[in-house]
Amino acid sequence: MRNMSKESEYDLELNKIKSWIEKYKINKVLIQCPNGLKYLAFKLAEWFEEQNVKAYISSSNCWGACDIAINEAKYIGCEAIIHVGHNGPYHEKSIENVRIFFIPAYYRRLNAERVIEKLRPYLANIKSVGLVSSIQHVRDLLSIGNKLASEGINVYIGNPNFKWMYPGQVIGCNVTSAISVSRYVNSFICISGGVFHAIGVRIMTQKEVISYDPYLDKVTKEEIDMFLKRTLTKKLYNLTRAMDMKRVGILLCSKIGQCKLKEAIKVKHLLEKKNYKCKIIVFDNLTPSLLENFLGDVDFYINTGCPRIGLDDLRLYENFIIINLGEVDYLIYGKLKDYDIRKSLAWSPNF
């Protein structure tokens, strides 16, 4: 096999994996990767076989550290999961007798000088900036920050409230590293693929966000602001419509880091006191075709799982009304004039 550690644009930390499998005498693993990184699973599987470890590849969607393929691993008798592309709180720990090992897949090819070159047209009026990124790029934040500082900009890299997250790191449901420095900055710069992470920062800090995608070598700003305006309009429209409806489907995600059973039951009881008719619907991966099965029985849905379902995916679910858990109070008390879109992200995983 070719030298995978040199070949890959991502650091897969093979030496750490090797020490880990030797430490725990692992003989069989399940490799779990998000879409976009699944090609790494085949390279890893070959490497594991060279270490005399049986390797299986999960083809399921993988949305984050909240989405661990425990059942898949248990069904096929794997002792461990190698979870690529995220970091999380279970590192080297065991869940239901399956050990979890996170490989963040740090990106190796980010060029700090190129980042500044692409950002420079947007920096003219910025005096202080918060710097954030997805896990793949946290190792580069300091060098990017130093170069921004050399441009005369005050740079802040905040600490998240989860101890297992890195300074400056943001995830879909947690941007506290940005919130922690928001009062000091005029704008944020987010380094990540796409604008998913940048949108979370924009919503929760209410500050300007400039996004740099190192894979496309592209800077995005206006699209993030347009998304926020479009989503705010859609959110208020959905809540207004839901107030005149009575049949509710409460969506309960079965993923280990997203299952909010207590919250789903509480919301059901609250709404039933307001004469809503509620049913709890359990799902693993939500799709429009799944919801179409309930068209005749459900008027709108309350999502207790990942809040990005009821935020980024509103276009995907344009034929449905989906309200996030943090927005239920608006439905109950009807005070839409006080609506704050940050409530749509008021959610925390089961860590």
CATH class of 228-345: alpha beta
Q: What is the pLDDT along the chain (351 residues), one digit of tens a residue?
A: 445 544 579 999 999 999 999 999 999 999 999 999 999 999 999 999 999 999 999 999 999 999 999 999 999 999 999 999 999 886 666 888 999 999 999 999 999 999 999 999 999 999 999 999 999 999 999 999 999 999 999 999 999 999 999 999 999 999 999 999 999 999 999 999 999 999 999 999 999 999 999 999 999 999 999 999 999 999 999 999 999 999 999 999 999 999 999 999 999 999 999 999 999 999 999 999 999 999 999 999 999 999 999 998 888 999 999 999 999 999 998 889 999 999 999 999 997
Question: 3.10.20.30, 3.40.50.11850, 3.30.2130.10, 3.90.1150.10: which CATH number matches 112-220?
Answer: 3.40.50.11850
Question: Taking the domains of the chain in order of start, what are their residue ranges?
Answer: 4-105, 112-220, 228-345
The β-bridge partners of 132 are: 190
pLDDT on residue 313: 84
Q: Which two tokens stand for residue 16?
A: 């750490």
- Chain position carrying tokens 């940048």: 198
**pTM for the complete prediction?**
0.94
Q: Do domains 4-105 and 112-220 have the same CATH topology?
A: yes
Q: What share of the chain is helix, strand, coil (3-state, %, to 5)?
A: 40, 20, 40
CA 313 to each of CA 100, 138, 287, 294, 327: distance values in angstroms, whole numbers, following the listed order? 29, 26, 10, 19, 16
Instruction: Classify domain 4-105 at the CATH superfamily level.
Output: Diphthamide synthesis DPH1/DPH2 domain 1 (3.40.50.11840)
